[in-house]
Amino acid sequence: MFTFETTDQKEARRFRIAQFNGRTVTARSAGATVTGHVRSIVENKSSVPAAWTITIIRETPKPATANLRSAPRIRTFAEDYL
């Protein structure tokens, strides 16, 4: 889990839209780059300017899968009459 704070309203809106649509996001903060799903966005109303605390759940990269099937899945009509 990765938590950071931002004062950029456009960035907070982008993360909120990604959370609503279930998309992954990439965040860069203090030299760290994290890709994952947004878990929460909390506005800190007491700060001036407005600040948002964003929590991202890291997504592990999926392993590459090999093509297991090289033959066609179904027989063609022409094969029946050869």
Supply angle C-alpha 40, 46, 24, rounded to 5: 20
Bond before 61 cis per omega within 30 degrees: no
CB 28 within 8 A of CB 75: no
pTM across the whole model: 0.68
The answer to whether the Cα torsion of 15, 21, 22, 26 is positive or negative is negative
pLDDT bin (cut points 50, 70, 90) of residue 30 is: confident
**Domain ranges, ordered by start, for the chain:** 2-58
Q: For residue range 33-77, list pLDDT tens digits in order.
A: 889 999 999 999 898 889 999 999 988 767 777 666 666 666 666
pLDDT at residue number 10: 94
Asked whether the CA dihedral 5, 37, 12, 41 is positive or negative, the reply is negative
- Split at pLDDT 50, 70, 90, the class of 18 is very high
